[in-house]
Chains A and B, each alone.
Chain A
Amino acid sequence: AQSVTQLDSQVPVFEEAPVELRCNYSSSVSVYLFWYVQYPNQGLQLLLKYLSGSTLVKSINGFEAEFNKSQTSFHLRKPSVHISDTAEYFCAVSETKRGSTLGRLYFGRGTQLTVWP
């Protein structure tokens, strides 16, 4: 079975500073990787995903994550954060499967990103 470790439960940062949220996983098989964001009192929203191809994936709001197979990591970064980025961020992995199905997602415990003015 897969497991996901998010090393930081809370990351406070000032507005316009860079941020990195760390995610490591363990798996005996190939995986797909995801970052989800949860704003207060809302559901889980997909931020970005790695399925195959380029190891650097980007979201529309300036976040990016890089898949590093040798280090089994998928850290999330943003060069300059906004107050509106304050949310909980979850890293998740899914076993790769043939065809169009996705396996179950294994989530990390989440990282609360708080951006201060």
Chain B
Amino acid sequence: EPEVTQTPSHQVTQMGQEVILRCVPISNHLYFYWYRQILGQKVEFLVSFYNNEISEKSEIFDDQFSVERPDGSNFTLKIRSTKLEDSAMYFCASSALYGYTFGSGTRLTVV
């Protein structure tokens, strides 16, 4: 069964550093998403991406965040200057018709 692949599975970074989280969506999916889950809290929507542009973003997705589909297969989330409160599990997802497929997540720890 097709999968959404996320790398790395764990990342530790120092506060203020830039991080890039990578995702390979399912190949025939056209819609891509990032969600995050802070430990003990709800899974929260960050951003959706379609046709090489952001289609929707949440209030969490401020100027520190950006997304890109650099080469037609990868979908990346960049955090420019990480803060302690960015520590969370980040999930990538892609969708076709009426169904999301999530990746296994990247656990980001900011120290």
Give the interface of A toward B (CB within 8 A).
32, 34, 36, 42-46, 49, 51, 90, 92, 100-110
Question: How many positions in chain B have a CB within 8 Å of any CB in the partner chain?
Answer: 26
Contact status A106-B100, CB under 8 Å: no
Per a CB cutoff under 8 Å, which of B6, B35, B50, B98 touches A105?
A: B35
Answer whether A46 and B100 are a contact pair too, CB < 8 Å, given A106-B45, A109-B42: yes
Q: Quote the shortest CB–CB distance from A57 to chain B (angstroms).
A: 13
For residue B41, CB closer than 8 A to chain A, the reply is yes
When A43-B91, A104-B56 are in contact, do A32 and B42 touch as well, CB less than 8 Å?
no
**For A46, what are the chain B residues with a Cβ–Cβ distance below 8 Å?**
99-101
Residue of B nearest to A42 (CB): B104
Q: What residue of chain B has the Cβ atom nearest to residue A109's Cβ?
A: B42
* Cross-chain contact B41 with A43 (CB below 8 angstroms): no
The 5 nearest A-B residue pairs measured at CB: A43-B104, A107-B43, A44-B102, A104-B45, A100-B97
* Cβ contacts under 8 Å, A43 to chain B: 4, 6, 91, 102-105
Query: How distant is the Cα of A66 from the Cα of B56 in the complex, in angstroms?
Result: 30
CB nearest neighbor in B for A43: B104
Residues of chain B contacted by A105 (CB below 8 angstroms)? 35, 43, 45, 100
Q: Known: A44-B91, A104-B48. Contact between A49 and B43, CB under 8 A?
A: no
- Residues in chain A near residue B56, CB distance under 8 A: 103-104
- Interface residue B84 (Cβ < 8 Å from any Cβ of A): no
11 new A-B contacts at CB < 8 Å, known A101-B31, A102-B95:
A34-B100, A44-B43, A44-B91, A92-B43, A100-B96, A104-B58, A105-B43, A105-B100, A107-B43, A108-B42, A110-B42
Closest to B95 in A: A102
Residues of A within 8 A of B58 (CB): 104
